[in-house]
Amino acid sequence: MKTFRLERGKPWLDIGSRGRAGSGRRMYLSPGDIALIGRTVGRTPEVMVKVTSGRGSTSSRGVAAHFSYIGRGGDLEIETDDGERLVGKEAARQLIQDWDLDMDEDRKRPDLFAINRRKPAKLVHKIIFSMPAGTPPKKVLAAVRDFAGEEFGRKHRYAMVLHTDEPHPHVHVVVKAVSQDGVRLNISRETLGHWRREFARQLRARGVAANATTRSARGQSRAPKLDAIFRAVQRGASSHMATRVRDVVRELKAGSLDQSGAARLQRTRQEVVRGWLAVRDLLAAEGNHQLADQVSRFVSQMPPPRTEKQWLAADLMERVRESRTKEKPLVR
């Protein structure tokens, strides 16, 4: 009988899809696979790694402003890749000089007479590593420090700052886009997935419960920040968002909410569920009935997949219901 193992380093959706091994073939689960399954169905806190907007990344002045922002105008300590701790208003200028960003900017400035001018290349990448509230901030910083040393050390210059002014501790990391050898760092979806898994691994090494799986594997579709959307609409700050909300209201009144994208989400969910059930059956066959039961409960508790319009529609209808309840007179 041919045996297939869950592939290491692959997104969880791929692992789940491989649960359908087919006739005459069987998968087996390593201790690492079982640990991942246990963390996921046990809803271990998920790490967050986010690359922020490119604004301020293409000029030395913009990068200096970002360093000033994450360093809170010189009040917070900026830790560099060579172990320096920089504090004060001159820290940003010192980093710009040390990294030769002003020279890089001059070299990449387009010719004034060039016909095909390209968008200015990034001088740095701005990344945030975050964990939920209650995670020890010093452990988050230590995890990011070792992560950055492994990923960027001796290649790309980088600096980091720990922020604890919000409930969730997070670390801002600024990475020079071009390495010491002239190689540009390109960040893909696969890169982000790898970074999340490595960040989670570093946290677990410090005794912090952390996981890194895809939203679809957890049965989650990306929910828009509904409160922020409606506040922006009320302020008139986002005509784009206002248009999207009006479209949903109009479609709800017409009784025909646009379902484009829903079929794709449903197909993805079906694949994920099939994969999870195959993993459950494999766990049961190996005698791990307790974890198999946890997988069954996890799958049964998955919320229905929703598109952004469906999220907006559900929230709008809930707001209407709440409003009517508040207006309803008390029954005597």
Least confident of 17-26, 47-56, 314-323: 17-26
CATH class of 48-205: alpha beta
Which tens digits make up the pLDDT trace of 218-273?
A: 988 665 555 555 565 556 555 666 777 777 677 677 777 777 777 888 888 899 99
Give me the pLDDT at residue 256, please.
74
CA distance 174 to 96: 12
CA distance 155 to 172: 19
Reply yes or no on whether the pLDDT at 26 is more than 60: no
Mean pLDDT of 18-43: 76
Give me the pLDDT at residue 5, please.
40
Give me the pLDDT at residue 255, please.
76
CA distance 306 to 254: 20
Between helix 289-300 and helix 31-41 the angle, nearest 10°, is: 40
pTM: 0.79
Give me the pLDDT at residue 305, please.
84
CATH 3.30.930.30 domain position(s) in the chain: 48-205
Mean pLDDT of 83-91: 93
Give me the pLDDT at residue 13, please.
38
Which tens digits make up the pLDDT trace of 45-74?
A: 999 999 998 778 999 999 999 999 999 999
Reply yes or no on whether the pLDDT at 150 is more than 90: yes
